[in-house]
Amino acid sequence: MTDSGHESNALTILQTVEPPFLPERPQAITFTIEYPPGHPGAAPHRHPGPAFGYVVEGEMLFEIEGEPERVLRAGDAFWEPGGDVIHYQDGNHSTTANLRFLVTLLSPPGAPMLTFVDAGELEARHDRRVPRP
């Protein structure tokens, strides 16, 4: 990449993904979430469209349906397909440091940013969750 004939190292691609679907006429909502040390994060939920994120500070325990849980650290990018896929964990993995992450959600206008999943549905879909080691 050049800028007025000079080399530029300002651009760093963090992730490239192809979401399985996009809501019709989506709006993009960008927000930050901050959790104190040890915070469990949001209860299991789903989003109305794909979400793309970046860990700004700290460590996140991250798990979505069909993938094993993993720890994301500051500088890591992540994404969720949204729709029917359940997001199980986004809690602060550290007991001593804050977690802050940024998310851009593609959502139909006026749709709730997340919908919590009840215990009955979690039980009915337990076979879609990767067993913990």
Strands (E), the chain: 2-3, 6-7, 27-35, 45-46, 51-57, 59-64, 70-73, 77-80, 87-92, 99-107, 115-116
What is the tens place of the pLDDT at every residue in 52-106? 999 999 999 999 999 999 999 999 999 999 999 999 999 999 999 999 999 999 9
Q: Model's pTM, two decimal places?
A: 0.86
Whole-number Å distance between alpha carbons of 119 and 103: 26
Please say whether the structural domain 32-128 has been given the CATH code 3.40.190.10: no
pLDDT at residue number 21: 80
Domain boundaries, the chain: 32-128
Residue 132 has pLDDT above 90, yes or no: no
pLDDT at residue number 66: 95
pLDDT at residue number 1: 45
